[in-house]
Every structure is written in structure tokens, then in C-alpha cells.
Amino acid sequence: MKRVASGILPVIAIDRKAPKPLHRQIYDAYRTAIIEGSLRPRQRVLSTRALAAELGVSRLPVLNAYGQLLAEGYFESRVGAGTVVSSALPEQFTASGAALQAARSESRYAPRPAAHRCSLLPQRETSPWLQGLGAFAVGQVAYDQFPLQVWSRLVARHCRSMNARSFHYGDHMGLRALRETVASYLRTARSLRCEADQIMIVSGSQQAIELSARVLLDPGNRVWIEEPGYHLAKAVFATKGCHLVPVPVDEEGLNVAEGIKRYRKARAAFVTPSHQFPLGVTMSASRRLQLLEWAQTNGSWIIEDDYDSEYRYESSPIPSLQGIDANARVIYIGTISKVLFPSLRLGYVVIPPKLIDRFVATRWAMDLGCPGIYQEVLADFIGEGHFARHIRRMRILYRERRSALVASLRKEMGSAVEVMGSEAGMHLTVNLQNRADDVRIAERASSQNLRLWPLSVNYLGEASRHGFILGFGSTAIEEIPRAVRKLRKLVEGT
């Protein structure tokens, strides 16, 4: 049963000197609020007794107004359920309904962008591959394998121990205990050069990218972005007013020489070197050194998004770019949300020492920090070894799911697809050899509970590849063969 909000009082201006009687003033205020959409169907309104007390009038005019609204169908009342705005009002009758109808009409007839173009603004509401759960959804984890009892116990422990300080703002950089824990983890697992004073806790990697853009970039600056690349990073730089310079990605990662040829003096480069999004390639050692040399020579910055480096299946984890940066030109971004669960919304930025004050000042202007209790819980979760154990278990599970997906793709689709980026992470990419319309196939797939992220929409310019980004984090092994068969039939039907 859908819950409704408790009684809400719309703006009712009572004028005792007006010739209009009080009950009519109350009636008109409610009727206007409903028609204009301020009050919505099934929204609860105040009881007559409470409204009379709020307005400072007797209950009689309120009863008369409610009686008229009930009689005309604006209100409905049920015993024990109170009085609510009628759910039987026609959608087009209210302002909200009319606006929704107009929006639907506009979207139905709006020109559709070319399939090979990447929108610089997020398409969360209109792209079926980004909506909800389903086979091959990108960015989803194995929810049923999360150690919920351990996490719940830690949450309960910190809730019971809350004190006056717990209710106040915390450090803008983040909880000290968590920053020390993260710094220790990064030095050991990712070979970073960092101390706790350089760690800032943020609300996921997306806020980290936004924060870095605000600190480093001015409108009109050029930014290297991977082609194809992460669409939400492009959105951040575009809304900042920067000019995007797409630099092609090949089997060695970002082509630094091509980037220099296209625009040497770019202010920054955004890269995903450990597991490039979306192609999944790893940046070679020579390219990493070229990129660092370019940044040092030009006084440019490198924003390294290390979004799923914990999972590598064919070799040991690749050291971070920041770890081999001797000149402090790399801003390193990582996330806990993609490893544990997306709604946690906790990530971190490793800041070069000379930029710490600027990051703190900019963060202060954006928000005042992440919720303290979840930082405390996460610090204990990592410090007590639960995080490392969870990573080890998930690495085994995701390797099995990855292997099952690769085997199913080869069995069902054979040479029709090229599998890319399966050595690491929680997704791989399939390149369609026939260059079929991947956007149209993805739209059709959503009705079959497949979440196929089209490869072509991740290009800023002309797409050189068409295919799909397939997440396997939340797709069970027994579900994979059936989902791949659906994919094959969709591709064959184009």
C-alpha cells in the first residue's frame, strides 16, 4: 500500500474583514492548491480540528469547507484513514498532470539524437540501460553476497554510542580514522604515495570529479578525455564550460602522442588507466610515463579515476598512476560505493599537498561533508578486516561470473563479437563486428529485462565501434547463458 504524507497545510490567507465567508476562503484555498498541483492525489490533509487550531477559527467553517470539497470530489475520506486529496481526479485536470502530459508529448516528437553521438548531459531518465536492475546492468554488485549482518552490527554499535559531537558537523576532509585507514589501504594495495592528510572523503567518485574540476579548471580550458570514455565525467567538464578534446584509446590505453598532436597545452587529462571505461584496456607502462612527462612539462593535471581496481583476474593488480608520479601532478579518485554497494555514496580523493587548501575551500562551498556515522562504520569495517575478506570473496565470485559470461559469448555468438576488457573489473565490452545499431538493440532489450549499455553512446565524435558494455556483478552464473541467448537473438534480428 502506498503511504501518503501526513497532513499538510497549504497557504490559506484568512481575512476576517473580507465579505467572503471563512468557509469559502478555506474551500477556495484548497481547490486552488489541488488544481495548481501544490496538493497531489492521495496526499493527506489536516484534520478539521487541527486546521481550525492552525487558522485560529472555530471548527464550523472548516467542517463546511471540507464538506463541500468532499461533495465535489476534490477530497475523499475513509474511516480510520483520514482525509486525502481524491485519487480519482483526471490526470489532465491538475497542473502537474497537464505538465506531465505536455512533457510526454514533447519527448514523443522531439528529434532523436544520432546514435553515434554522446550526450554531454546525463540521460538517467531516458536511457533504459541505466534504469533499475536486470541482467548485465553496469555498476551493480552481488547484493546477496554482502556481509549484511556484520554491517548492521557495526551500524547499531555506532548508533548506540552517538554523543553530542556525533550530531555536529565533522571535518571537511572527512573522519580522521577513516582517512588513516584508507591511506594505509592505498599505500599497501595500490602503491600510492599518500598520507592521511591528503585524503578527502567525498560522496562517491562523481563528486570527486566535480570537486577536481572546480579546483583545477576554468571555463574555456581544454581537457583531454578518453574516446570512448565515461559519460558523466564529460558532463562535469562540459557544464564547467571546458572544451573537451577527445583522445583515442587503443590496446595500450590513452594515445598520449595523439593527445599532444590534438592539443598539447590542455589544462588536464581525465583517465581510467587501470581498467579503461568502457573498453577495459590497461594503460601500458610506456603510455603512463609519457602521460606523466606531458603533465610535468606543460604544468597540466591528471585526474586518475581508479574506479574498480580491486578486481583483477589475469594478473596481479596494476599499480596506480599516482604511485609513479614523482612530481605530484595526479589527483587520484577512488570509490567504496562500487565495491560494497552503490547507495553507500562514499569515495575519496588523494590530493597533491600543494592543492589541499584549495580543495578544502572548494568543498566547503559545495557541502559540509559526508554523514559521519557511515564514515565511522566504514572505518571499522575496513579496520577490522571485513573489507579485505569481502574483496577476496567477491574477486573469486566475479571471476567465475566473468568466465561464464566469456564462455557463453563465445559459444552463442562466436566470431560475431569481439570480447574486450575481460581481465579486470565488473564489466566487459563486446564489439559487434557487423556494426549493428546498438542503441536500438539496447532499447528493445530492456523489455526482456536486459540492461545493455550501448558502446557507441560513449563516443564524443563518430563511433568507431558498436557493441555493448556488459556488467556481470549482479548477474548470477545460472542466469548468464539464458541472457546471452537473448542477446544473440536481438543482434540477429537487426
Query: Is it the case that residue 261 has pLDDT exceeding 80?
Result: yes
Domain end, chosen from 351, 384, 417, is at: 384
User: Is residue 259 assigned to a domain?
Assistant: yes
Contact 283, 271 (CB under 8 A): yes
379 and 452 co-located in one domain? no
**Tens digit of each residue's pLDDT (9 = 90 or more) over 121-155:** 555 456 888 777 889 999 888 989 999 999 999 99
User: Is residue 429 assigned to a domain?
Assistant: yes
96 and 135 co-located in one domain? no
DSSP 19: S
Q: CB neighbours (10 Å) of residue 493? A: 9
Beta strands in 97-234 (DSSP E): 199-202, 222-227
Domain end, chosen from 350, 384, 418, is at: 384
User: Is residue 146 assigned to a domain?
Assistant: no
Work out the average pLDDT over 427-454.
Answer: 92
Per-residue pLDDT at 104: 47
Q: Which residue has the higher pLDDT, 372 or 165?
A: 372
Q: At 99, is the pLDDT very low, low, confident or very high (cuts 50, 70, 90)?
A: low
User: If DSSP codes are grouped into helix, strand and coil, which group holds residue 246?
Assistant: strand
Provide the residue range defining the domain that includes 62. Answer: 1-110
377 and 408 co-located in one domain? no
> Domain total for the chain?
3
**Tens digit of each residue's pLDDT (9 = 90 or more) over 240-257:** 999 999 999 999 999 999
CATH number of 318's domain: 3.40.640.10
User: If DSSP codes are grouped into helix, strand and coil, which group holds residue 344?
Assistant: helix
Averaged pLDDT of the chain: 87
**pTM of the predicted protein model:** 0.78
**Tens digit of each residue's pLDDT (9 = 90 or more) over 196-221:** 999 999 998 999 999 999 999 999 99
- Residue 202 burial by CB count (10 A; 0-12/13-18/19+): exposed, middle or buried? buried
329 and 394 co-located in one domain? no
User: Is residue 289 assigned to a domain?
Assistant: yes
73 and 52 co-located in one domain? yes
173 and 285 co-located in one domain? yes
Q: Which residue has the higher pLDDT, 162 or 419?
A: 419
204 and 331 co-located in one domain? yes
Contact 327, 296 (CB under 8 A): yes
User: Is residue 396 assigned to a domain?
Assistant: yes
195 and 277 co-located in one domain? yes
375 and 434 co-located in one domain? no
Per-residue pLDDT at 115: 37
Per-residue pLDDT at 40: 85
132 and 64 co-located in one domain? no
User: Is residue 351 assigned to a domain?
Assistant: yes
DSSP H helix total and E strand total for the chain: 15, 14
Q: How far apart are CA 196 and CA 183, in angstroms?
A: 5
Q: Which of 10-19, 261-270, 371-380 has the highest mean pLDDT?
A: 261-270
CA neighbours within 13 Å on the CB side: how many for 340?
23
Contact 334, 310 (CB under 8 A): no
**Tens digit of each residue's pLDDT (9 = 90 or more) over 146-171:** 999 999 999 999 999 888 777 888 78
325 and 300 co-located in one domain? yes
CATH number of 439's domain: 3.90.1150.10
User: Is residue 367 assigned to a domain?
Assistant: yes
| Site of grid cell 581510467 | 272
Query: Which residues, 6 or more positions from 165, have their beta carbon under 8 angstroms from its beta carbon?
Result: none
104 and 179 co-located in one domain? no
Q: How far apart are CA 409 and CA 406, in angstroms?
A: 5
